[in-house]
Amino acid sequence: MSKTTVSRPAIEWQHEYVVIYDSSISKYRKIRTVNEAKALMKQTSCPFARLIAALCVFALTAVQSPHTAADDFLSKLEQEAEQLERHLSSSPFLEEWLSQLLPAIRKSHSVNGMKTDIYHESIRLSIKIEEYFKKQTAS
């Protein structure tokens, strides 16, 4: 990951969108939807941006899901996790964050609780991923 400006982190989670620094084009990219996150995964050559976009796919799939039944909601997220595994099989964090996100959603008893847990866990994981890539570029 290339250096970003001193005043801005490489990822910013906002209420309606996520901003990700894409070092392959030296610009920040705004992600509002699952489709935008999936497009970024395909367009960028930056491993950091690709991995954070995948995390956004999962978080936004959860948050924007219309499902109100827990079983339907969980099924949709498991399908999305399988697709992400296929697209990012070589990622250093994929297995770890999926192993943390999927159990996190089973702690809640309501779909709204699950959505909140996924979103919060996604933010926590993105910070960890950002720290990892910062160390890689500093070496």
Domain boundaries, the chain: 11-138
Q: Which pTM was predicted?
A: 0.84
- The string of DSSP codes covering 5-73 is -TTS-SEEE-SS-EEEEETTTTEEEEE-SHHHHHHHHHH---HHHHHHHHHHHHHHHHHT----SHHHH
Alpha-carbon Rg for the chain in angstroms: 15
* pLDDT tens digits for range 32-70: 999 999 999 999 999 889 889 999 998 999 999 999 998
Residues in the chain with pLDDT values less than 70: 1-7, 89, 92, 139
Q: Which fold has domain 11-138?
A: Four Helix Bundle (Hemerythrin (Met), subunit A) (1.20.120)
